[in-house]
């Protein structure tokens, strides 16, 4: 131990066994490192170094507490090295959890988490809190529930880490030895000189849920009920959070088991409502570019016109954005119906039937042009997102394509992706863009969507016939679902001069349709074309046979 410096560095070895690889994080009284267990090659450990006298005592108390615990959501203690005298360092060696903190996940999701995702995490926390509070000889009060103290591993399991301020509950004790906690998440009694108990952690759970569902606000600072911030939240869940955040412990839920039971009931009710809603809701298909310029809008329009050719009723929608394009692409000033109002216009909340702009089997739903959007009253981002998405879900169409461009990480687009049944990403031959940091981030998001049960498809756009085409396709993230041909620039220009979509031009329409029909046949549900049981089915059989 004497050879170890105050700050460990890569290559240092602790106890002749743990080789330090990197710094993971640093707090007020401790530093955490990633290490390799040399006795188990390839096995990673987390080494927590406490570097102040108070930290050393806290580290020893944490070690004594954790060695008694055995729960799937708690890391195991592997080793402990104590100081021989005051002022020296203590080292706590724990299982290394590969993943990210809940705070990192929250930030990566644009500081917005769907209520269903928050509820699933809360259920896992209820399980571990129930264990800590009720299944040990000396109940443990954690006292510091916050996003940075929770890890999410690659299997979506939530891990409770950092027991630095946890304490054992003592019946009859009037006050904690040290009143402590994190402002924004700590219960009132933690700062009022009173003893904390199981209900203190339940307050922390409520504060955590409020933070995640409010876009990162604290209940005591915001001073608003969750439903005031987002009217789309399930009312029962918002009421449960409000109950957990009561100032008096007697007014809260009294045990983690009680909270778990209420969450399970609410989730069961919500799933039943979602199931009934899905029976009426259209099938949402999100179409996005893996990077700027790949051609998400071109692909979305090609799919829309192919569906029109098949006789499948559908809509193509564009989310509200800074630079909306669909209205101009469709030559809205020329082709939109008289008195047409875009579905995203806030004033008067126009019904979608009033916004009807149909072209055969396609219902066009462009976002309001920038000048019109600027005149609309300002709305909170969450409310605006909920409004346009609710309108799409209320459509009386079996299928809705949504062109999200390359804005995958916008919080309202993430809400859309959470309810979309199919997710389509578009790539083009510019292979250097696959190495962009933004592209890697979107590929990670697509991986997470797949893991969540979404069907994800890749479309290769601007495909040219070349002896090297196979090499291009071979380096894509996966074999593409279909190949859209490159369209001659003159044909695109001619269509624009004539005020038409190039996807509707003779020859090109058939070329694009043949490219996408086999893929559409692989996933398009029967209900999408069942409305016209005669004509649409005959068209499908004919075109798929010839395609």
Task: Catalogue the active-site residues.
Answer: 144
Distance CA(22)–CA(42), nearest Å, equals 15
- Do the Cβ atoms of 46 and 96 come closer than 8 Å? yes
- Do the Cβ atoms of 29 and 58 come closer than 8 Å? yes
> Which DSSP string corresponds to 269-289?
HHHHHHHHHHHHSPEEEEEEE
Maximal C-alpha separation, the chain: 87
Structure tokens at 32: 């955490």
Give the single-character DSSP code of 376: S
Distance CA(397)–CA(385), nearest Å, equals 20
Structure-token match 């917005």, residue found: 112
Residue 515 CB coordination number (10 Å): 19
Distance CA(271)–CA(489), nearest Å, equals 49
Distance CA(419)–CA(382), nearest Å, equals 16
- Do the Cβ atoms of 240 and 207 come closer than 8 Å? no
Distance CA(420)–CA(287), nearest Å, equals 10
Distance CA(204)–CA(211), nearest Å, equals 10
Distance CA(547)–CA(544), nearest Å, equals 5
φ, ψ (nearest 5 deg) of residue 37: -80, 105
Q: Are strands 482-485 and 150-153 parallel, antiparallel or unpaired?
A: unpaired
Distance CA(346)–CA(328), nearest Å, equals 20
> 434-440 long-range CB contacts below 8 Å, 24 or more apart?
434/290, 434/291, 434/475, 434/476, 434/477, 436/291, 438/291, 438/406, 439/290, 439/291
φ, ψ (nearest 5 deg) of residue 508: -70, -40
Q: Using CA atoms in the order 392, 397, 399, 403, what is the torsion angle rounded to 10 degrees?
A: -40
Q: How far is CA 127 from the centre of its chain?
A: 23
> 418-421 long-range CB contacts below 8 Å, 24 or more apart?
418/114, 418/116, 418/117, 419/284, 419/389, 419/393, 420/284, 420/285, 420/286, 420/454, 421/283, 421/284, 421/285, 421/454, 421/455
């Amino acid at each position: 131990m004497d050879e170890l410096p105050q700050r460990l560095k890569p290559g240092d070895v602790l106890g002749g066994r743990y080789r330090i690889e990197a710094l993971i994080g640093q707090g007020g009284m401790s530093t955490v490192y990633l290490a390799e267990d040399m006795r188990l090659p390839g096995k990673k450990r987390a080494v927590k170094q406490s570097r102040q006298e108070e930290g050393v005592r806290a580290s020893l108390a944490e070690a004594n507490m954790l060695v008694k615990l055995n729960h799937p959501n708690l890391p195991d203690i592997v080793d402990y090295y104590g100081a021989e005298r005051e002022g020296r360092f203590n080292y706590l060696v724990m299982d290394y959890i590969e993943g990210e903190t809940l705070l990192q996940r929250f930030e990566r999701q644009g500081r917005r988490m769907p209520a269903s995702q928050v509820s699933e995490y809360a259920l896992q926390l209820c399980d571990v809190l129930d264990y800590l509070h009720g299944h040990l000889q000396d109940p443990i009060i954690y006292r510091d529930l916050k996003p940075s103290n929770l890890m999410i591993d690659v299997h979506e399991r939530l891990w409770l880490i950092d027991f630095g301020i946890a304490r054992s509950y003592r019946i009859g004790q009037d006050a904690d030895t040290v009143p402590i906690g994190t402002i924004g998440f700590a219960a009132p009694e933690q700062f009022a000189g009173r003893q904390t108990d199981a209900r203190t952690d339940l307050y922390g759970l409520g504060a955590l849920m409020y933070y995640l569902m409010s876009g990162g606000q604290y209940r005591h600072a915001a001073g608003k009920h969750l439903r005031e911030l987002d009217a789309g939240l399930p009312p029962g869940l918002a009421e449960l959070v409000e109950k957990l955040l009561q100032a008096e412990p007697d007014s809260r839920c009294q045990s983690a088991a009680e909270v778990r039971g209420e969450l399970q009931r609410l989730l069961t009710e919500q799933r039943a409502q979602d199931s009934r809603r899905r029976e009426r809701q259209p099938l949402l298909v999100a179409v996005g570019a893996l990077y700027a310029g790949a051609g998400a809008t071109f692909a979305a329009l090609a799919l829309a016109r192919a569906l029109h050719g098949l006789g499948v009723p559908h809509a193509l929608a564009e989310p509200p954005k800074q630079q909306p394009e669909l209205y101009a692409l469709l030559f809205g000033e020329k082709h939109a119906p008289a008195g047409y109002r875009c579905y995203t216009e806030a004033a008067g909340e126009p019904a979608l039937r009033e916004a009807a702009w149909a072209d055969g089997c396609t219902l066009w739903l462009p976002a309001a042009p920038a000048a019109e959007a600027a005149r609309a009253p300002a709305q909170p981002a969450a409310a605006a997102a909920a409004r346009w998405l609710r309108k799409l879900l209320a459509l009386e169409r079996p299928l809705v394509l949504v062109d999200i461009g390359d804005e995958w990480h916008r919080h309202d687009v993430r809400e859309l992706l959470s309810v979309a049944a199919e997710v389509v990403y578009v790539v083009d031959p510019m292979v250097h863009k696959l190495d962009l940091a933004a592209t890697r981030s979107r590929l990670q998001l697509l991986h997470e969507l797949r893991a969540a049960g979404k069907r994800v498809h890749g479309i290769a756009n601007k495909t040219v016939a070349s002896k090297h085409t196979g090499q291009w396709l071979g380096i894509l993230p996966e074999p593409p679902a279909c190949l859209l041909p490159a369209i001659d620039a003159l044909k695109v220009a001619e269509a624009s001069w004539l005020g038409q979509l190039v996807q509707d031009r003779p020859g090109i329409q058939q070329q694009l349709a043949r490219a996408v029909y086999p893929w559409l046949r692989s996933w398009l549900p029967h209900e999408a074309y069942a409305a016209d049981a005669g004509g649409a089915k005959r068209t499908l059989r004919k075109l798929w046979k010839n395609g």
